[in-house]
Amino acid sequence: QLSNISKIEKYSFGEKSTLLSDIKDSRPVFAFDYLSLNSSNLCFNSKLLNGVKEYQRIFESLKTLSSKNYDELSKNRTFHFHEVDFDDTTISESEFVKCLTPNSAKTKSDNIPTVYQFKIFDKARIFGFIYKSVFYLVFLIETTKVMKENN
């Protein structure tokens, strides 16, 4: 398994996301290259996280998720794994893009990878994107704080 890791190509901004249908039998490998750590409420170092126990829950959930393939994750509603519609959130797509490139203002929409979310625990979700079966984690959010009222 470890020998395959060295063969994984890293994502470069502007490359097309991988279609979920092309990797449905693959299990996610998690990457942290674009992890948001600027201490906002959308970040993995947010003050909203309640200490070691919540970080432990994050890692336990990632371990569980990595044992499933993308097809299982998308079909089992327990994981809440699906594409993100930014119209349903208070987060803008531009906030997401700022984590991927320093030139976010000049970004064309067709350069933005497809954003997915999955449940990590309770109301906590991880937003990220997939490139060649690797899930790049970006935001850790609490759904009650970012989902619009009418949804």
Neighbours of 55 (CB within 10 A): 13
Neighbours of 59 (CB within 10 A): 10
What is the model's pLDDT at position 147? 55
What is the model's pLDDT at position 151? 43
Averages of pLDDT over runs of 10 residues in the chain (151 residues) are 62 83 93 84 75 86 95 94 87 81 71 88 88 91 59 43
Nearest to 11 by CA among 43, 45, 35: 35
* CB distance 118 to 81 below 8 Å: yes
Instruction: Report the alpha-carbon distance of residue 51 to residue 111 in Å, rounded.
Output: 36
